[in-house]
Structure 1
Amino acid sequence: MSTTTRGVILGRFMPPHNGHRYLIDFGRHIADELTVFLCSLPPDPIPGTLRLQWMQEIFPTVRLVHITEENPNANKNQPGATAIWARALAEHMPHGVDYVFASEHYGFDLARELGARFVPVDPSRSLFPVSATAVRAAPMTYWDYLPEPVRPFFVRRVCIAGADVRRRVALGRALSQHFKTIYSGDYARFWQDHMDRPPQEADLPLLMRAQAASEGALARQADRLLFVTTDPTQLALQWRVQHGEAADRLAAERQGGYDLYLIMEGSAGSDPDGLASRYRSMIPTDANVVTIPVPGDPNDPDDHIGLALEPACAAVEELLRAQ
């Protein structure tokens, strides 16, 4: 007779948070084998496949079962729903279930249907006062409860646009210092500084992918906000002006919108190539756009950044208040 004990956890993990981490780690310390069932449906606000990827990264050694079948009778408010869920779980547990771990009372009825023992885990949520519903409603408030793989989904991305990349970077650096987070710089300038030749037309697709990769990698380390001083679209438009190559198609292949666009607007004549106005015409019409006046010497990227910082901070604060 096997002495191996087996436990199960059932949830939507939409998204997984530190309360879930405690629940699963708790179960792993009691059961010899733990199976976590992730349930998702197509209309869910966070795709089930993405949640599965998160769970696989956060819990690489836990057995995960993704349940995607829709059964209206399995709604927890329907009579007999618990028995339906018990049968669905039992199909994946040929050796039976010894423990059901949950922070909610449904775990008691589910354990009874499975012939297992119910082990409540922080039912009052006094250890981790958070829920997935609360995270979705106010992710900035519950930011500290989000595991690193989940954070890029909720991080607020602020794109800084303007004709002068030096000023964009200067404002991005100042904003990241003010809000105690990080910013994504201009990868093309970094590339040119470290290669033994100037970029060529064939390099543009790689540079654009690298710019997007930099943003994606930094999003995992950002604290609620990520300031982007060059996005792939600005990079393509800038290339078109500086190198005389038609980059319209690549410029149109946007990596996606941002939560806020800060458009740096200099004095007359500060955008002779029309980069800023052209970029602005490509921003989605329903986007959150704020114009930031930037007077001063165009040859000095740090000149009057202090004046631009105040309205920029106000726009970002408003973004955070809106959650």
Structure 2
Amino acid sequence: MRRGLVVGKFAPLHLGHQYLLETAAAHCDELHVWVYSNPEPARMPAPVRAGWITTIYAQTYGPAIGTTPLRVRYLLPEADELPSNAAPDYVHREFVRRQLAALGVRIDVVFSSEAYGPGFAAHLGAAHVLVDASRARVPVSGTQVRTDVYGQANWLHPVVQAHFASPAYVQRVVLLGAESTGKSTLAAALARRFGSCHVAEYGRTLWEAQHGHLAYDDLLRIARRHRALEDEATPQARHWLFVDTNALTTLFYSYAYYGRAEPELHALAHECSTRYQHSFVCAPDFPFEQDGTRAPAAAQAAQQAAVLLQLGLLGISYTVLTGSVEARLQQVAEVLGCYNQIEL
């Protein structure tokens, strides 16, 4: 049996990687594919990356390309004591050699598209096949895709594209704060700045649709619909989905207006502790603007205190945003870090 080996980060898996795998499979009786990176790419760990390969090439009796079975294996930085991506080539070669020896697997040929391939194969006592090193057949690289995964989506299989439009990848960023603290303006500005989209406060939408009247039952309705709008917007978001308020706010108003709240509304509010990856609180550090729909300015301090109390009780970490819209945009950018690239 002729056994082949392909080792890579596959971060993310793109059509160039698939060309490499398919070429390798055409020359082997069995192809071993190892997926690893140290550090792991943000929001796409090794099990996910390996899962793309097994899903794309799934067959009745396991993943395969044509009649060549794939033996897909992923390794994790701590569990498998992976060398750093920055470690010398020899360290990586020796790591793989020891792993293969422990598994009792002998590799006959290594396939790669990189300059490290010949030396790596020689260290394993295997032949080497260089596949499309010039990227002439499939002109794409991992670096190119990571720089703008959404703009380069045409180089990704639909299975991989779906990951970057899913809650597993897109992070929810919620803006909280009292009335007239600039949440709505900032949510829209963040979506523009980050090239993504935002979810407006559904409570305000329903309030306007019902001409300024909200019944007790409307509060749970607001929380449910606002959550649904977040889910509907996620596939259109890029990296982050910016959300104007959440069920915590709705729970507060249920008590403020009616002195009670439905158990389901409590449950939705409690889920906010894990539903949002980043919480920002807009500070009331500019003049209160009464648009005819808000509580009196004197209530703003109590509202802000209630927001902070809820966050504290649920153990939700947050960042307070201050200053102008531009200043707040910069503060959010500093917390979120690089917003248009995948970092390794």
TM-score normalised by the shorter chain: which range applies? Answer: 0.5 to 0.7
**In the alignment, residue 26 of structure 1 is paired with which amino acid?**
L
| Counterparts of 2:228 and 2:46, CA distance in 1 | 21
User: For 1:236, what is the secondary structure of its paired residue?
Assistant: helix
Q: Is 1:37 aligned to residue 31 of structure 2?
A: no
The question of whether the paired residues in 2 share the 8 Å contact of 1:103 and 1:123 is answered with: no
Q: Does structure 1 conserve the Cα–Cα contact (< 8 Å) formed by 2:174 and 2:246?
A: yes
- Counterpart selection for 1:56 from 29, 46, 51: 51
**How many Å apart are 1:7 and its aligned residue?**
4.6
Distance 1:216 1:101 in 2: 40
Partner of 2:274: 255
Shift in alpha-carbon separation, 1:241–1:35, aligned structure 2, 3 A: farther
TM-score between the two structures when normalised by the length of structure 2: 0.58
Q: CA–CA distance in 2 between the matches of 1:312 and 1:84?
A: 51
Residue correspondence of structure 1 range 1-323 to structure 2 within 5 A: 7-13=4-10, 16-17=11-12, 21-29=15-23, 31-32=25-26, 35-39=32-36, 50-57=45-52, 60-62=55-57, 63=63, 64-67=72-75, 70=80, 77=91, 80-87=94-101, 91=105, 99-103=110-114, 105=116, 108-110=119-121, 113=124, 115-120=126-131, 122=133, 127-128=140-141, 130=143, 148=161, 149-150=163-164, 158-164=173-179, 168-187=183-202, 200=217, 204=220, 211=226, 214-215=229-230, 218-246=233-261, 251-253=269-271, 254-255=273-274, 258-259=277-278, 261-263=280-282, 265=284, 267=288, 269-270=296-297, 272=299, 274-281=302-309, 282=311, 287-291=318-322, 309-319=325-335
Q: Describe the shift of the 1:103–1:66 C-alpha distance in structure 2 as closer, same or farther (beyond 3 A).
A: same
C-alpha displacement at 1:26, in angstroms? 3.1
The offset of 1:159, in angstroms, is 2.5
Structure 2 unaligned regions, length at least 5: 58-62, 64-71, 154-159, 290-295, 340-344
In 1: Cα distance, 2:175 partner to 2:240 partner: 13
SS of structure 2 residue aligned to 1:60: helix
Cα deviation code 1:253-311 (max 9, x no counterpart): 4125544614152629437383332112316686332135xxxxxxxxxxxxxxx6444
Query: How many angstroms apart in 2 are the aligned matches of 1:209 and 1:111?
Result: 60
CA-CA distance at 1:210 after TM superposition: 6.4
Q: Work out whether residues 9 and 36 of structure 1, in 8 Å CA contact, stay in contact via their aligned partners in 2.
A: yes
Task: Check 1:10–1:312 CA distance in 2 against 1; reply closer, same or farther (3 A cut).
Answer: same
1:181–1:226 CA contact under 8 A, matched in 2: yes
The AA in structure 2 aligned to 1:37 is W
Q: Provide the secondary structure at the position in 1 that maps to 2:241.
A: strand
CA contact (8 A) 2:181 2:283 kept: no
Using structure 1 for the length normalisation, give the TM-score. Answer: 0.61
**CA drift at 1:220:** 4.8
**% same residue:** 17
Residues 261, 290 of structure 1: 8 Å contact kept: yes
Q: Which moved more, 1:217-226 or 1:207-216?
A: 207-216
Q: Secondary structure of 1:130's partner?
A: helix
The unaligned stretches of length 5 or more in structure 1 are: 293-307
Give 1:171 shift.
Answer: 3.9
Task: Write the distance in 2 (CA, Å) between the matches of 1:162 and 1:175.
Answer: 16
Letter in 2 for 1:235: T
How far the C-alpha of 1:229 sits from its partner, in A, is 0.6
Structure with the larger RCO, 1 or 2 (CA within 8 Å, 6+ apart): 2
Q: 1:272, 1:72 → 2: CA distance?
A: 55
> What do the CA deviations read for 1:162-213 (whole angstroms, capped 9, x no partner)?
334996335423442354321023356678979xx96749x94x97576556
Counterparts of 1:207 and 1:56, CA distance in 2 = 37
RMSD: 5.1
